[in-house]
A and B are shown apart, each in its own frame.
Chain A
Amino acid sequence: MSEWFADVANKFHIAFIEGDRWKLYLEGLGVTLQISIFAAILGVIIGTIVALMKLSTKKNGKRSVLSTIAQIYIDIIRGTPSVLQVLIMWFLIMVQSKNGILVAIMTFGINSGAYVAEIVRAGILAVDYGQTEAGRSLGLSKVQTMWYIVLPQAIKNVLPPIGNEFIVLLKETAIVGYVGLTDLTRVANQVASRTYEAFMPLIGAAVIYFVIIKILTILLEKLERRLHKGDHR
């Protein structure tokens, strides 16, 4: 029994302590978080704009040009694997850029935007149309009605699926190893191949992802509860 403990302690030592390897994990985590956070922000901005584009209509109620553009963007992004999108961005579009993290942020932001757009669109459509009519009947413009009345209510609706999207995004950034970025997953992989000991680094990385996402989940739940404070239904 004590032998087994000693063995585990040794493996832990090799995977995390020896040669200050824990610093590598921290750096990897830093890369993962940087990409995730900025991509999430970019995704929400793009997603909201694209959702509004997709909902826009011509005066006669028919689909607008902006709406068609939004639909094409959504179709392309959702219709191709994100690994391919990273590779295309890295090797074909932003070839000049030396800043891998920036390329990753752009790629995942643009990718996430397509999914967020559909989430936000659903959230807007879920707000009772009477709210819009009431706003317009008071003389508020389309934009004012959207901004002061509909969007605030839509945000409440979309919080759970948006949280879900953030979680997916955070984990999906693990594919940036394909283009040579050293994120948390890649660090774990590198340590494993250098030390011929896969268990500790891989499980360690998994635990780190898990904890980060659990924290994120708790924060989102808190936010959701706060936004629903005004409702006593």
Chain B
Amino acid sequence: MITVKNLHKKFGTLEVLKGIDYHVKQGEKIVVIGPSGSGKSTFLRCLNLLETPSSGEIWFDGQLITDPKTDINKVRQHMGMVFQNFNLFNNLSIMDNITLAPTKLKLMNEEEAKETALSLLKRVNLSDKADAFPSQLSGGQKQRIAIVRSLAMNPKVLLFDEPTSALDPEMVGEVLDVMKELADSGMTMVVVTHEMGFAREVGSKVVFMDEGIIMEENTPEEFFTNPKNPRLQDFLSKVL
């Protein structure tokens, strides 16, 4: 579904990604872990071109999206993204946050969008917040709304950029539960996170990144019980 070939990204003279090759298959849940500064967030943000790669290719659904001629707005309609800081639109109610993109992009009319929004809100137990504003919600609620906002576009893949890192510890669970449910429903997901429990439980593959390259990739079981790369062994010994 997503194929990355020899991806490089430089910020000025700093080379953050030094040649990434990866393939995400339909329905897979890829969990990316690694120390800060390893390039994992940059890698994720390259996938929907929020960061423009310096070189390399990214293919999505058979389309070369790094080609300048590609209409990236069209591509992004099918790739949802959930951010560390939620980034709900502060000027809009929860309902409008969810329906803005589907209606303005003419994928649904107002009524359909509202219906979709309400059923999604029900799924995350936030039906009563439809008319609230983002500033009235807790972090966990905001992140669940952010996930719903992405889902309303009916994406083929969801990208998560450290979705629980900005949350109070007691709110992490409610967000992870939603993500688990999503994973069970068959959604293709790429998740950058520090939640090792989630990686082990939900991931179909776990990827370890450091210094701008993928150091190791394996099934969760092998990854955590039998890490081969010394850098990964060191990392796991500190975080587990």
Asked if A133 and B50 make an inter-chain contact with CB atoms under 8 angstroms apart, the answer reads yes
Query: Within the complex, which residue of B83, B87, B89, B105 is in contact with A139, where a contact is CB–CB below 8 Å?
Result: B105
Query: Within the complex, which residue of A128, A137, A148, A231 is in contact with B50, where a contact is CB–CB below 8 Å?
Result: A137
Asked if A140 and B135 make an inter-chain contact with CB atoms under 8 angstroms apart, the answer reads no
Give the shortest distance, in Å, between B54 (CB) and chain A (any CB). Answer: 12
Q: In the complex the two chains form, what is the Cα distance from A141 to B75 in whole Å?
A: 12
Q: Mark A100-139, 1 if CB is under 8 A from B, else 0.
A: 0000000000000000000000000000101101111111
Q: With A137-B48, A138-B153, A233-B135 as given contacts, are A130 and B85 in contact (CB-CB < 8 Å)?
A: yes
* Residue B171 is within 8 A (CB to CB) of chain A in the complex: no
Asked if A134 and B89 make an inter-chain contact with CB atoms under 8 angstroms apart, the answer reads yes
Q: With A139-B74, A139-B77 as given contacts, are A130 and B91 in contact (CB-CB < 8 Å)?
A: no
Chain B residues positioned under 8 Å from A149 (CB to CB): 89, 91-92, 100
Chain A residues positioned under 8 Å from B104 (CB to CB): 140, 144, 148
Interface residues of B in 190-227 (CB under 8 A from A): none
Q: With A138-B76, A139-B153 as given contacts, are A230 and B105 in contact (CB-CB < 8 Å)?
A: no
Chain A residues positioned under 8 Å from B88 (CB to CB): 134
Chain A residues positioned under 8 Å from B153 (CB to CB): 138-139
Chain A residues positioned under 8 Å from B76 (CB to CB): 136-139
Asked if A137 and B89 make an inter-chain contact with CB atoms under 8 angstroms apart, the answer reads no
Chain B residues positioned under 8 Å from A141 (CB to CB): 73
* Residue A194 is within 8 A (CB to CB) of chain B in the complex: no
Give the shortest distance, in Å, between A57 (CB) and chain B (any CB). Answer: 12
Q: Mark B80-110, 1 if CB is under 8 A from A, else 0.
A: 1101010111111000000011001100000
Chain A residues positioned under 8 Å from B73 (CB to CB): 136, 139-141
Interface residues of A in 207-226 (CB under 8 A from B): none
Interface residues of B in 14-36 (CB under 8 A from A): none
Q: In the complex the two chains form, what is the Cα distance from A166 to B78 in whole Å?
A: 45
Q: In the complex the two chains form, what is the Cα distance from A230 to B91 in whole Å?
A: 8
Chain B residues positioned under 8 Å from A140 (CB to CB): 73, 100-101, 104-105
Q: In the complex the two chains form, what is the Cα distance from A149 to B90 in whole Å?
A: 8
* Residue A152 is within 8 A (CB to CB) of chain B in the complex: yes
Q: Mark A26-45, 1 if CB is under 8 A from B, else 0.
A: 00000000000000000000
Asked if B87 and A133 make an inter-chain contact with CB atoms under 8 angstroms apart, the answer reads yes
Give the shortest distance, in Å, between B85 (CB) and chain A (any CB). Answer: 5
Chain B residues positioned under 8 Å from A56 (CB to CB): none
Query: Within the complex, which residue of B83, B101, B133, B135 is in contact with A130, where a contact is CB–CB below 8 Å?
Result: B83
* Minimum CB distance partner of B78 in chain A: A139
Chain A residues positioned under 8 Å from B146 (CB to CB): 134
Q: In the complex the two chains form, what is the Cα distance from A140 to B73 in whole Å?
A: 6
Interface range on chain A (Cβ under 8 Å from partner): 20 to 34
Asked if A153 and B80 make an inter-chain contact with CB atoms under 8 angstroms apart, the answer reads no
Give the shortest distance, in Å, between B11 (CB) and chain A (any CB). Answer: 11
Chain A residues positioned under 8 Å from B87 (CB to CB): 128, 130-131, 133-134
Give the shortest distance, in Å, between A216 (CB) and chain B (any CB). Answer: 25
* Minimum CB distance partner of B100 in chain A: A148
* Residue B114 is within 8 A (CB to CB) of chain A in the complex: no
* Residue B150 is within 8 A (CB to CB) of chain A in the complex: yes
Asked if A138 and B77 make an inter-chain contact with CB atoms under 8 angstroms apart, the answer reads yes
Chain A residues positioned under 8 Å from B13 (CB to CB): none
Query: Within the complex, which residue of B81, B91, B136 is in contact with A152, where a contact is CB–CB below 8 Å?
Result: B91
Interface residues of A in 150-175 (CB under 8 A from B): 152-153, 156
Query: Within the complex, which residue of B135, B136, B150 is in contact with A138, where a contact is CB–CB below 8 Å?
Result: B150
Q: In the complex the two chains form, what is the Cα distance from A229 to B200 in whole Å?
A: 44
Q: With A136-B50, A136-B76, A230-B135 as given contacts, are A131 and B89 in contact (CB-CB < 8 Å)?
A: yes
Asked if A137 and B133 make an inter-chain contact with CB atoms under 8 angstroms apart, the answer reads no
Residues of B within 8 A of A (CB): 48, 50, 73-77, 79-81, 83, 85, 87-92, 100-101, 104-105, 133, 135-136, 146, 149-150, 153
In the complex, 21 of the A-B residue pairs with CB atoms within 8 angstroms, ordered by the A residue number, are A130-B85, A131-B89, A133-B50, A134-B146, A136-B50, A136-B76, A138-B80, A138-B100, A138-B101, A138-B105, A139-B73, A139-B77, A140-B104, A148-B89, A148-B104, A153-B91, A230-B133, A231-B133, A232-B135, A232-B136, A233-B135
Give the top 8 A-B pairs by smallest Cβ distance, nearest first. Answer: A139-B77, A134-B87, A138-B101, A130-B87, A137-B81, A139-B76, A152-B91, A230-B133
